[in-house]
Structure 1
Amino acid sequence: MKPTKILITGATGFIGSRLCELLSLEHRLPYRALVRDFSRAARIARLDPELVAGDMLDAGSLARAVEGCDAVVNLAHGDDQSAEKQTKLLVDACVRARVRRFVHVSSMAVHGPSPKPPVLTESTASIQRWGEGYSDAKSAAEAVVTAAGKRGALATVILRPTIVYGPYSFFVTPIVQDARAGKISMIDGGRGVCNAVYVDDVCESIMAALDRDDAVGEAFLINGDGRITWRDFITTFAGMVEGAKTIHDHSLDEIAAYWQAKRPRVRDSVTAAMRLAASPAFHAQLGTIPPVGKLIRGTKELVARRISSEQKMTIKSRLQSRSATAHADEAPAVRMPSEGRVVREAYRSWVSNDLAKARLGWVPAHSFELGAQRTGEWMRFARIV
């Protein structure tokens, strides 16, 4: 049974904004968008939806937002520390309002920051605490929804999208920015498997989850059908930018060595302290404190009388040389990938979407070629390329 009114949380985000567009322009279903920051709501405001002010940590505003809605799509994820509490407050509000269907859009990240091959299917994928902020927050939020479903308080469906791309995607725009600068990078030759799903297909899986009664109580991995590598993904979007580009391939050994070197050591702390002590800017700040300023000036005058001009030049030269070397060490020629990107792009297993196809009656409508084409059309319209 189709819902009569849907509350969407996270409505101004990447997936939420596209869901609002499809609800207004294609499905033509009534919905209400929960908005915390109206300065971020320009994309959906042009659709003339029902907007309601609220905060996921404000139980009163959630109660008002859910009033009169028989379905809720939860796309909100404020920060890792508050995700579990936000979800609990929303679930409680939905239970009190007797909401018919609760669709919680989670993430493949619940299976860990570096998932192993058993994540290939829902039946073998484990959920636990992984010691990584985002994955643990997503797992904790899911646990709240699952518990509500098991005790019969709500009819819940959980969706776990993989790598969601399309217009406005934060997986696409950094690639384009690097390509415009004339350089792109890959990890381990781009051989990792990119489990990419187009944003419209994710939205259609949400619509199916709202409607299918046999999906209640289940969790589904939502992935596209195009089996591509990260090299395919990166070069496709980088290729939409005109001009020559250089490709830097970060080996896994190179990345490991870089992050190992970035870990703070006692010697680094001592060097930093010495550099600070020798800094003219630091001396200038200390000099604004009258007793300290007087001591610094007196010390400098005493030293100046005791050493020759040649010794002064030698000391100054050594300090400048150390500073230049330190800055060179801190700034590699090519920007190193973040740890999150390394985890995503080193993954080698394809994630199955068979259960979603069977139980949701959903099939992704966009091959990677079609999804990339539509994303490229948006980038040209937006003058990004």
Structure 2
Amino acid sequence: MMTGKKVLITGATGFIGGRLAEKLILYHGANVRVLVRNFARASRIARFNVEMLGGSITDADIVDEAVAGCDTVFHCAHDFMGKNAQQNLDGARTLADACLRHGIRRFVHVSTISVYEPLSDGDVDESTPPKSTSWTYPVNKLAIENLFLQYWEKYGLPVAVIQPTIVYGPFGGYWTNNQVTMMRAFRLALPIGGLCNPVYVDDVVDSLILAAQREGVVGERFLISGAESITWREFFGAYERMLGIEFVAPMKTEEIKQIENTTMRNNGLTSNLKLLRRDPRRVAHRLKRWKPVNKLYKLAQSSMGKNFARPVSKALPAPLYVPEEQLLALYGARASVKIDKARRLLGYEPAFDLDRGMSLTAQYVKWANL
């Protein structure tokens, strides 16, 4: 039971951490404290009676203050910019040290399925060995996982590691917000036959809360996914029906690589599309602030009025987006994630299939005017 327990959440202004804070307050009666780096992003959780401490996870004094008096710590924070990989690792160590000093009862770390990338075809479970890769995100997340588990083995840090798969749902940055924005602007060159392992955000949050309460889970990793694997075509198809658009251009992997080699690299679009994929709205806002574009934008806005945001012609084909290497490997892999361990030790059972999860996501997309 979490009722009345003091818990700390790092990354509570983000997708998973924000929903975790909501559920702990609304359904579990927890006393929630959050460590906030940027208060401009805290509006979602500010409507609750939460204790907010401002500061960075790398600041030992602030982290010590945040952990003091807590029963449970949920570590959801991660800076996704590659240049801050060392900062993520340093922050993890600072947090682990503080948790040991204050003798917390349970530490739950949010990791990712990406630690197993590039995924191999076939079943994937917690016994699957991580591969050697130069991709920054999985390397960084695996290093943090290993750090926490070493702290368990050497010093007794009571940590459980949760490895979510493809997490979507309301306020979801990569697989919802950015996905919808991309789908309205591009078509995707998608490898035929690749498998997707989606999981609705509430299922992930429930697994975190289970990991904070169950016995026999310390020192363990848990993959968290939906009840079954589907194809990426089915996953994107749910968004296509939601938005009333066509997004997927199914192709063989060899065809996609040929397109990338002959066009994308030659004309310098690859780096620009990577940035657009990561944060398309920020790119758009930056362009609007550029004086030549800003003048045209204001002129068009004043002359077209309400029709300004509408497409000029639905007949114009959307440009083709070719995924970069890491994403292409993910889309092409025929990997099926197994959640037997989470079912057995955590008592985890997914409550949301794709239809139910996407139905709720559609309501959010409409509300957020994405």
State the distance in 2 between where 1:16 and 1:246 align: 30
Give the equivalent residue in structure 2 for 1:376: 362
2:333 counterpart of 1:347: yes
Hey, what does 1:254 align to over in structure 2?
Answer: 255
The equivalent residue for 1:185 is: 188
Structure 2 residue 172 is matched with structure 1 residue 172: no
| Secondary structure of residue in 1 paired with 2:103 | coil
Q: CA shift at 1:203, angstroms? A: 0.3
Partners of 2:167 and 2:129 in 1: CA distance: 21
Q: Partner amino acid for 2:105?
A: R
Correspondence for 2:296: none
Match for residue 359 of structure 1 among 334, 345, 348: 345
Aligned equivalent of 1:214: 216
Q: Which has the larger radius of gyration?
A: 1
2:246 aligns to what? Answer: 245
Note if 1:202 corresponds to 2:188: no
Alignment of 1:120 onto 2:120: no
Residues 122-158 of structure 1: CA distance to partner in whole angstroms, max 9, x if unpaired?
12x1136422211110111011100111124311101
Work out the number of aligned pairs and report it. Answer: 313
- Change in Cα spacing, 1:17 to 1:246, as seen in structure 2 (3 Å) is closer
Task: Give the match's secondary structure for 2:109.
Answer: strand
User: 2:227 aligns to what?
Assistant: 225
**Do the aligned partners of 1:7 and 1:71 also contact (CA within 8 Å) in 2?**
yes
Q: Which residue does 1:149 correspond to in 2? A: 152
Cα distance change on mapping 1:178 and 1:217 into 2, 3 Å: closer
Aligned residue type for 2:250: D
Tell me the CA shift for residue 380 of structure 1.
1.9
The residue type paired with residue 143 of structure 1 is N
Hey, what's the Cα distance between the residues in 2 that align with 1:220 and 1:21?
23
Structure 1 length normalisation: TM-score?
Answer: 0.76
Letter in 2 for 1:364: P
What SS is found at the alignment partner of 1:39?
helix
Q: Could you tell me which amino acid in structure 2 is paired with residue 63 of structure 1? A: D
Structure 2 residue identity aligned to 1:377:
Q
1:82-120 deviation digits (Å, cap 9, x = unpaired): 2221111110111111111111111111112x1224761
Distance in 1 of aligned mates of 2:34 and 2:353:
30
3-state SS, counterpart of residue 341 of structure 1: helix
Query: Equivalent residue for 2:90?
Result: 85
1:374 & 1:345 partners in 2: Cα distance?
A: 24
| Aligned pair partner of 2:139 in 136, 140, 147 | 136
SS at structure 2 position matched to 1:52: strand
Structure 1 Cα separation of the partners of residues 247 and 71 of structure 2:
53
Unaligned runs of 5+ in 1: 266-331
Q: Distance in 2 between matches of 1:136 and 1:72?
A: 23
1:253-295 residue CA offsets vs partner (Å, 9 max, x unmatched) = 2332344456689xxxxxxxxxxxxxxxxxxxxxxxxxxxxxx
Unaligned runs of at least 5 residues, structure 2: 268-317
In the aligned structure 1, how far is the partner of 2:194 from the partner of 2:122?
A: 16
Percent identical across equivalent pairs?
A: 36
**Per the alignment, do residues 98 and 175 of structure 1 end up closer, same or farther by CA in structure 2, a change over 3 Å counting?**
closer
Deviations 1:317-370 (A, max 9, x none): xxxxxxxxxxxxxxx942322333212211201100010000001111111111
**CA separation of 1:179/1:151 partners in 2, compared to 1, >3 Å: closer, same or farther?**
closer
Pair 1:264–1:241, CA change in 2 (3 A): closer
Shift of 1:213: 1.4
